[in-house]
Amino acid sequence: MFYCEKCGIHVSGSGKRCPLCQGELAGTPEEDAYPVIEEARTPYGLIIRMALFLTVAALAVCIAINYCFPESGWWFLFVAAGLASVWLVIGIALSKRRNPLKAIVWLLAVVSVLLLVWDWRTGSRGWSINFVLPILIPCMQIAVVATAWALHLRASDYLLSLGISLFAGFFPLIPLLCQWLWMVYPSVICVSFSVILLAALVLFQGSALKAELIRRTHI
C-alpha cells in the first residue's frame, strides 16, 4: 500500500501518484481494484463519415457543373433530393437498428411518403400508387412476420409492428375506391393479403394483441 505524505492518506492500487494531489507516493504497489478500460471502437463510424464526405463532394461538383452550364436546367436539385432521400432512409435504418421491427415500420412509412412525393414531383404518372406501394406494403408485412419468426420474438414484441403494417395494407383502398388507378391488380392483391393476415392475427393472437394494446396505452 502507498502513502501520501501531503494528504495523510493511504492509497491502494498500483498508481504512482496520489489521485487527490498528484504528489509522489511512498510504499509498495498492489493490484488494482478496477480494470483498465479499452477505448470502445466504433467500426461503422468511419465508413459513415466517408460516405457522407463523398456525398457532400459529389453534390458540390454537381452544383458547380450545373452552375457553369445552366442551359440544361437545374438538374442538381434532383441529385440533391435523391441523395437526401437515400440518407434519410439510411439514417432511419441505422437509428432503429437495435429494433428491426421498428425499423421496418418506420421505413415503410418514410419510403411510402418519399415515393409519393417523387411520383408527384416527376410528372404525377401514378407509378407509386399503381405499382410500387401496393407491392412494397405486402413485402414489408412479410418482412415483419419473417423477422419475428427468425428472431424467435414473443407475441408482445411483434404484435404492434405487425398491426401497424397490416393497417398500412388498407391504404391502397383509397385510390382503388376513388378510381384513380389504371392498374388495379397490385392494389387488390395488397388489400386482400392484408385482410387474410389481419384475420389470422385477430383470430389466433387476438387476446395477446388486446393485452399488448392495453399495456401500451395504459395511463
Partner 1 sequence: MKNRTNKNVPSWWTLDNAAKIFPSTGSSHDSKVFRFVCELQEEVSPPLLQKALDKTIERFPMYRSVMKRGWFWYYLEDSTLPAKIREEDSPPCCPIYPSIRRSLLFRVLYYRKRISLEVYHALTDGTGALNFLCTLVYEYLLLRHPDEFPKPFPALPYDASQSQRQTDSFQKYYEKPARRLPGSSPAAYQLKGERLPRNHLAILEGRMPLEDILACARAKGATLTELMAAVFLLALQEGMRVRDRKKPVVITIPVNLRNYFPSESARNFFATINVGYDFGKGDGSLESVLAEVKRSFQANLTEERMREQMNTLCALEHSIPLRLVPLPIKDIVLRIANWLTSRGITASFSNIGRVSMPEEMNRHIHLFNVFTSAGMLQACACSFHGQYIVSFASPFRSCETERIFFRKLSQMGIDVILTTNLPSESEVN
Nearer Cβ to partner 1, position 25 or 190? 25
What's the min distance (Å) between Cβ of 23 and partner 1?
A: 11
CA dihedral (71, 77, 82, 88) in degrees, to 10, reads: 170
Read off the C-alpha cell for 139.
Answer: 413485402
Distances (CA, A) of 114 to 133, 173, 213, 216: 11, 19, 29, 29
Per-residue x/- track, 59-98, partner 1 (CB under 8 A): ---------------------------------------x
What's the min distance (Å) between Cβ of 29 and partner 1?
A: 9
Per-residue x/- track, 23-42, partner 1 (CB under 8 A): --------xxxxxxxxxx--
Q: Which of residues 95-124 bind partner 1 (CB under 8 A)?
A: 98-99
Report the residue from 5, 20, 44, 50 that binds partner 1 according to the rule CB under 8 A. Answer: 20
Task: Determine the Cα–Cα distance for residues 88 and 101; give it in Å rounded to an integer.
Answer: 18
Instruction: Check residue 74 and report its DSSP letter.
Output: S
The residues facing 22 across adjacent strands are none
The residues facing 26 across adjacent strands are 3
8 binds partner 1 (CB under 8 A): yes
203 binds partner 1 (CB under 8 A): no
Nearer Cβ to partner 1, position 40 or 203? 40
Amino acid of residue 198: L
Q: Which of residues 141-200 bind partner 1 (CB under 8 A)?
A: 154-157
DSSP 68-133: H-GGG-STHHHHHHHHHHHHHHHHHHHHTTTSHHHHHHHHHHHHHHHHHHHHHHTT---HIIIIIH
19 binds partner 1 (CB under 8 A): yes
Write out the residues near partner 1 by the rule CB under 8 A: 1, 7-17, 19-22, 31-40, 98-99, 154-157, 205, 207-208, 211, 215-219
